[in-house]
Chain A
């Protein structure tokens, strides 16, 4: 670690080596310990305690990251998160009740209860989600400090929402082709609003470096799945239209296609998911390596695709092993308690009669199952943080290099951002932002 230290407040010292490798100073064990207890508390309080878990974990993650030898600080509080959430509930509940009723009514009256019409209420939520995500990002930035100076995100949630909607439609109508364009433009918008002290960020970079990798993925998808499906469909239609004998051919073709899809599908899914992930890692690297602070400070982000895959696979392994252990223990307890009553228990799930669950005979078997389920969720949440979230964060941090750090030292302090919303809307809509 090489830092530039200066003699006076204006940084008059030598413009010495100004490349810095950020460090990450926490361990998986610490994350698991912090997360486990708070996860259990969160579940026991029906989710009310999650704000304390989020705040504590964020504080730990932020201060584990050291740039130029100085750790990041997270200055948010759980109460700010909680109040922000309550505000969101009051406003959203009213909006949702009206919107859901209106849209469901329209669906019933004009679509005669058709499936698609009943999904209209989703329209109510989508725009809000974008708006909420920007506000949540703004809170995260405003509560982050480095060397005592605050970061920030200028107001711009409405602009973000309209841009997200517009680009979402563009991507939809281009069958996904325009996705990198969506990413680049949205990133430019957000980055333009980002601040460190009084210094601005800028998103540089062009579309083609992103698009050429995306085309590989998109083209592959079209070739492997889209084209055969389309060809098969046209052939099917043609065979049916050809008249007698045609139906038999059409059926045979249909069966053949289904068999091919089923046989190839696990491999297909793996390939598709892998290619998609590879693109996202590439986009992450490209977009973040092209952000510039204060005109001359920028990062080189070198996170590798295989490292990301390794983290996910390793994390999944750990989680499934622990999950099986817990399931085994719970089953053992259930057999000990319920014994021959398993028959009665399984019939409950068949009829789905809620009230029958409260039959005291069945409660005896049900309680360990419910308790085990809840405990398993808490353990999974903690394991996910410790074996996936934290390693990903550490990998992203330690494979980056920051150039021109002395430019960042020129930043003047920013005022405290009084936005009280703290990401409550995003939390309520299930569209949370940030690592926790």
Chain B
């Protein structure tokens, strides 16, 4: 600090706060050896502050608010231009911030780990377990009432307007026959209500309360009644497992947790939507796999082949292709890879090319396929 020699005789008035009260005290400030000396107006030294530890707490280029080190409560206010310029020149570390306490980063790492662990346990273990228990506790009447409401709104959403459910005397009888073949003696917690929606999509879905909706497109694309029956068996699997209710509860349980973590900065909405979609899709894939297994078992028990259902997955794949779903990106698909499902379903087939009692007669199948024309 050879510049000090220049400032040996420099003196300036300042305002000193001793940190024990808010009362200020006029002082005279000058340089000592490697230190700043604060003198009272009566020329008595009050404090020596080491220049190396001197820190400025004020912002910008104007007056200084000095402190001997960041842990001190003492303050010195200086606005004399020459003194301010001198101190800035002589103390390069003036603007350096408070050093982070070493314990601080460790504490952060610990709580960070705790937070990650807690979130993982909650989202992937606690919420699913609770949701599954609770789904079984919902009174069946409440579930049926909810399902009936949801069918209207879901179907309306897909049809983009008033949903039209198909009905014809022969078609309805055929559908009832198919359902009966699969569910005779089956213990289901709610009565099944199977309908056909007038829409060209090749799809079917199950909602709470035993509501199952088959699409007209599915019936038209089916190569025979056993294929449609396979899809119906799959949806019945969802109903028996209470999947729609469980999934809704799981979503409710984890709702908002992601928003919690990402804070309230505006870009979060996109990330949250993405993450919640990811979560939902992983829940659903397990449910789909379980429903596949249920369908295979049910079909076999009722003396029906599972090969047609396997063929259905292959048709789906041909129609839509795997797209970017294969391999790593399959995490984002709500339905597990169609190849795997076809193979697993075909493997469960016990009939092969053998004889079996068809699920519908030819006339019944024609009537069902034409249920939307009636």
B211 within 8 Å of A (CB atoms): no
Known A109-B138, A148-B75: A97·B257 in contact at CB below 8 Å: yes
B126 within 8 Å of A (CB atoms): yes
The answer to whether A50 and B263 have CB atoms under 8 Å apart is yes
A-facing residues in B258-287 (Cβ within 8 Å)? 259-268, 270-271, 274, 277, 281
The answer to whether A148 and B22 have CB atoms under 8 Å apart is yes
The answer to whether A94 and B21 have CB atoms under 8 Å apart is no
Contact of B60 among A25, A112, A125, A197 (CB under 8 A): A25
Best-buried of A89, A113, A430 by chain B (most CB within 10 Å): A113
Question: Which of A312-320, A322-330, A405-413 has 4 or more CB atoms under 8 Å from chain B?
Answer: A405-413
A429 CA to B59 CA, complexed, in Å = 32
Q: Which residues does chain B contribute within 8 Å of A257, judged by CB atoms? A: none
The answer to whether B118 and A89 have CB atoms under 8 Å apart is yes
A222 CA to B18 CA, complexed, in Å = 57
A47 within 8 Å of B (CB atoms): yes
Known A108-B146, A109-B138, A355-B333: A147·B323 in contact at CB below 8 Å: no
A42 CA to B265 CA, complexed, in Å = 8
A219 CA to B77 CA, complexed, in Å = 52
Question: Which of B23-31, B167-175, B217-225, B352-360 has 4 or more CB atoms under 8 Å from chain A?
Answer: B23-31
Q: Which residues does chain A contribute within 8 Å of B24, judged by CB atoms? A: 3, 5-6, 70, 147, 409
B165 within 8 Å of A (CB atoms): no
Contact of A148 among B74, B105, B122 (CB under 8 A): B74
B247 within 8 Å of A (CB atoms): no
The answer to whether B41 and A413 have CB atoms under 8 Å apart is no
Name the CB-closest residue of A to B275: A46
Known A6-B24, A77-B98, A411-B22: A90·B115 in contact at CB below 8 Å: yes
The answer to whether B23 and A83 have CB atoms under 8 Å apart is no
The answer to whether A10 and B115 have CB atoms under 8 Å apart is no
Q: Which residues does chain B contribute within 8 Å of A6, judged by CB atoms? A: 23-25
A10 CA to B18 CA, complexed, in Å = 12
A412 CA to B19 CA, complexed, in Å = 8
Best-buried of B252, B261, B270 by chain A (most CB within 10 Å): B252
Best-buried of A42, A82, A108 by chain B (most CB within 10 Å): A108
A77 CA to B277 CA, complexed, in Å = 35
B89 within 8 Å of A (CB atoms): no
A82 to chain B, nearest CB (A): 6
The answer to whether B146 and A359 have CB atoms under 8 Å apart is no
A-facing residues in B109-136 (Cβ within 8 Å)? 111-112, 114-115, 118-119, 122, 126-127, 130-131, 134
Interface bits A63-88 vs B (CB < 8 Å: 1, else 0): 11000011101000101101101110
Name the CB-closest residue of B to A107: B252
The answer to whether A146 and B22 have CB atoms under 8 Å apart is yes
A393 CA to B19 CA, complexed, in Å = 27
Q: Which residues does chain A contribute within 8 Å of B134, judged by CB atoms? A: 101, 105
Q: Which residues does chain B contribute within 8 Å of A94, judged by CB atoms? A: 118, 122, 126
A103 to chain B, nearest CB (A): 8
Q: Which residues does chain A contribute within 8 Å of B79, judged by CB atoms? A: 69
- Give the interface residue-count category, chain A: 35 or more
Known A96-B257, A121-B255: A7·B105 in contact at CB below 8 Å: no
A60 CA to B60 CA, complexed, in Å = 9
Contact of B252 among A73, A101, A197, A428 (CB under 8 A): A101
Known A96-B260, A377-B267: A104·B249 in contact at CB below 8 Å: yes
Tell me if A's interface is mostly helix, strand, loop or mixed: helix
Known A93-B118, A96-B260, A377-B267: A112·B21 in contact at CB below 8 Å: no
A333 within 8 Å of B (CB atoms): no
A354 within 8 Å of B (CB atoms): yes
B73 within 8 Å of A (CB atoms): yes
Question: Which of B192-200, B305-313, B324-332, B362-370 has 4 or more CB atoms under 8 Å from chain A?
Answer: B324-332
A55 to chain B, nearest CB (A): 10
Interface bits B29-50 vs A (CB < 8 Å: 1, else 0): 0000000000001000000000
B92 within 8 Å of A (CB atoms): no
Q: Which residues does chain A contribute within 8 Å of B60, judged by CB atoms? A: 25-26, 30
The answer to whether A47 and B114 have CB atoms under 8 Å apart is no
A360 within 8 Å of B (CB atoms): yes
A301 CA to B333 CA, complexed, in Å = 59
- Additional 16 contacts, C-beta under 8 A, given A83-B108, A112-B142, A410-B23: A9-B18, A47-B261, A50-B265, A64-B59, A87-B111, A92-B260, A105-B249, A121-B252, A147-B17, A148-B67, A355-B333, A377-B266, A381-B265, A427-B263, A428-B260, A428-B261
* A residues neighboring B (CB under 8 Å): 3, 5-11, 25-26, 30, 42-43, 46-47, 50, 59-60, 63-64, 69-71, 73, 77, 79-80, 82-83, 85-87, 89-90, 92-94, 96-98, 100-101, 104-105, 108-110, 112-113, 121, 125, 146-149, 196-197, 354-356, 358-360, 370, 373-374, 377, 380-381, 408-413, 427-430, 432
* B residues neighboring A (CB under 8 Å): 15, 17-26, 41, 57-60, 62, 65, 67, 73-75, 77, 79, 98, 100, 104-105, 107-108, 111-112, 114-115, 118-119, 122, 126-127, 130-131, 134, 137-139, 142-143, 145-146, 149-150, 208, 245, 248-249, 252-257, 259-268, 270-271, 274, 277, 281, 323-325, 329, 332-333
Enumerate 26 A-B pairs (CB-CB under 8 Å) in ascending A order: A9-B23, A47-B262, A63-B58, A70-B77, A71-B57, A73-B65, A79-B105, A87-B111, A89-B115, A101-B127, A104-B248, A147-B24, A149-B17, A149-B73, A354-B274, A354-B277, A354-B281, A354-B332, A355-B324, A355-B333, A358-B324, A358-B329, A370-B270, A380-B266, A410-B21, A427-B263
Q: Which 10 A-B pairs give the minimum distances between C-beta atoms?
A: A113-B146, A104-B252, A86-B111, A430-B264, A148-B75, A47-B263, A411-B22, A112-B145, A63-B59, A101-B253
